Amino acid sequence: MSAIQAAWPSGTECIAKYNFHGTAEQDLPFCKGDVLTIVAVTKDPNWYKAKNKVGREGIIPANYVQKREGVKAGTKLSLMPWFHGKITREQADTTTLERLLCPPETGLFLVRESTNYPGDYTLCVSCDGKVEHYRIMYHASKLSIDEEVYFENLMQLVEHYTSDADGLCTRLIKPKVMEGTVAAQDEFFRSGWALNMKDLKLLQTIGKGEFGDVMLGDYRGNKVAVKCIKNDATAQAFLAEASVMTQLRHSNLVQLLGVIVEEKGGLYIVTEYMAKGSLVDYLRSRGRSVLGGDCLLKFSLDVCEAMEYLEGNNFVHRDLAARNVLVSEDNVAKVSDFGLTKEASSTQDTGKLPVKWTAPEALREKKFSTKSDVWSFGILLWEIYSFGRVPYPRIPLKDVVPRVEKGYKMDAPDGCPPAVYEVMKNCWHLDAATRPSFLQLREQLEHIKTHELHL
């Protein structure tokens, strides 16, 4: 057990594998699925001192809990690890597929895009040493093999035939996982982030997006926010966001509580609940009469500290804006929406980027870095001090980039302290290398807080 002791320092998060009722007064009882934080190692390496979500501390058995780990960067998670996408006509011949579904176990299966019927799919199943092919027809937004039973998506179809052969040569028993992918459900379970749907109550819709709804939920008596993503293709895209969130822990980042992957294609990303909504709406609804300079500076520092943490861990957010910062019940601003967040080395399609918030080199050459996040932070500061106005007012969208590339910088918002405006302008150097780091930005903002608030 000493290896566990060495591996689990104070502050380590873990999730309970079993119920623990405790027998001694100093024990900390918990239920399977509870999240606990290690406070200290005891003299006996089989026991830890830990605290629960409400701050109660006590002794817990080490073998009743599992350490929570971040999903490893570069892991290609899939909700449909049995889906092999396009297979060329040559690969789709019987001999190649028989090699792919090898050794030929009855019930081994994969799904691929149809080569003969574009838009349809093919289910390939190994049965008694042979491979059977079933056309999955896509019609009126539904999928069917026999035109008797229809499904919303491939996951529902596979789940149905996993529990019942229903006319196929065999029920689907074992997925042939596409090379290089990992089943999302298995990985979230392995790393300690899988939650149980039975513990979650969905209460009311608090936001809507193209991907699905954001709902207020109750998870074991605590208010939570839940992104409910239904469509399998959309859900697949959100896996990357969830896996990034498992790697990030900071008091000014919206915290992931866990992930639920449903067999039938539903993905639920459960995060802490931020009662006061997005920062941009908060600024617009309160305005100058409610929010003083100290409050605006605090929000600026909250975001800067989160970004300094991302900078230190080599993550680039790529979509920093006041709409993607949320405000908690006790007025703490936290950065959210990690859908575009990636390790600093990766590139990305620029088609959907918000032009007014994105650095010129990122728009022009797809060069994303911490320094492009710094540019966006400057725009976010302008949003904060203008109480949620849209940047570049009175300039048509098509003219923004040409003007910015010639050196144009927005004027200071009304009432913005000159020292804060200087910080904004430093973020907007066209040469990315001359922009400050988030560490330097935090130091500058803290100096303003200490010495220059009267300005």
Query: 90 and 197 in contact (C-beta within 8 Å)?
Result: no
The catalytic residue among 302, 319, 337, 373 is: 319
Judge whether 27 counts as a catalytic residue. Answer: no
Q: How far apart are the first and last CA of the chain?
A: 58
Query: 242 and 209 in contact (C-beta within 8 Å)?
Result: no
Query: 365 and 371 in contact (C-beta within 8 Å)?
Result: no
What pairs with residue 393 in β-bridges?
Answer: none
145 φ, ψ (degrees, to nearest 5): -100, -40
DSSP state of 199: G
d(CA 94, CA 324): 49
Burial classification of residue 264, based on how many CB atoms lie within 10 Å of its CB (0-12 exposed, 13-18 middle, 19 or more buried): middle
DSSP state of 270: E
Handedness of CA 444, 446, 448, 452 (dihedral sign): negative
d(CA 93, CA 272): 49
Q: How many CA atoms lie within 13 A of 229 on its CB side?
A: 21
Alpha carbon 158 to chain centroid distance?
26
The annotation status of 142 as a binding-site residue, yes or no, is: no
DSSP state of 176: -
Quickly list H helices, 109-231. 154-163, 184-190
Residues making up the binding site: 227
Active site residues: 319
Residues making up the binding site for ATP: 227
